[in-house]
Structure 1
Amino acid sequence: MILNTYKPKFELGQIVVTPAVLKKVPKIEIEFCLTRHAQGNWGDLSEEDQEVNEEALRNGDKILSAYRSSAGIRFWIITEADRSATTILLPEDY
């Protein structure tokens, strides 16, 4: 898995992927975006939402990233405030 090649900015905890994401997004793209998330590349977020994530790194709040697959499928990666779990889901799964 790609995650072993660098030091993440925060712990991901248990990684959970919804069935809808597994069905619609290739595994390699999920892994690539998970790596980006852990490195602090928040994907397709507004500048304001990116600032919220940067603050969450300092304060221990929930972190949200948004990405699109090569097929245009939008999906989110959310790491819980306590860093116990990271969930990869479609917006409609929320």
Structure 2
Amino acid sequence: MEEAFINVKGVNLGQLEKTSAINDIVADDVKFEMEIRTCIARYAFSDWGDCEEVDQAANDHALACGELGLMAKYSTSQGSIYIITESDRTSTKVLFCHEYQEPKED
């Protein structure tokens, strides 16, 4: 996974990670790389992309209370992606929607 630290005025993204599938395509596809950068910028400023209204409201609430994780969905030329930030805001991951696995409950 490629990593970078991102901290902007909007959402604190923490350590930014991309899955190897995202990273492999970014390495060869300039258009996709720009789309990913644009999606991250939108996300960082609370633009939740293609999320349903209820999910957008949940993200807005999570920002206000600072206790919950964030998740948004965006369309790209290579397929839909999720951007997910951990509830403690230490890391954010960019992945294809088909790579997402529901967290297991203990």
State which of 22, 34, 39 in structure 2 corresponds to 1:33. Answer: 39
- Measure the CA separation in 2 of the matches of 1:8 and 1:20: 29
How many pairs does the alignment contain? 89
Moved more, 25-34 or 35-44: 25-34
What TM-score, normalized to structure 1?
0.85
Shift of 1:76: 0.3
Paired amino acid for 2:64: R
> What is the aligned-residue identity percentage?
36
What TM-score, normalized to structure 2?
0.76
Mind listing any 5+ residue stretches in structure 1 that lack a counterpart?
none
- Measure the CA separation in 1 of the matches of 2:61 and 2:99: 25
**Counterpart of 1:13 in 2: which secondary structure?**
strand
**Counterpart of 2:12 in 1: which secondary structure?**
coil
- Measure the CA separation in 2 of the matches of 1:72 and 1:85: 23
**Corresponding residue of 1:63:** 70
- CA RMSD of the aligned region, Å? 1.8
**Counterpart of 2:87 in 1: which secondary structure?**
coil
Shift of 1:72: 5.3
Mind listing any 5+ residue stretches in structure 2 that lack a counterpart?
1-5, 27-31, 101-106
**Corresponding residue of 1:20:** 21
Question: For the pair shown, which has the larger CA radius of gyration, 1 or 2?
Answer: 2
Q: Which has the higher contact order (CA 8 A, sep 6+)?
A: 1
User: Runs of at least 4 residues of structure 1 off by over 4 A?
Assistant: none
Paired amino acid for 2:23: L
Residue 46 (structure 1) aligned with residue 52 (structure 2): yes
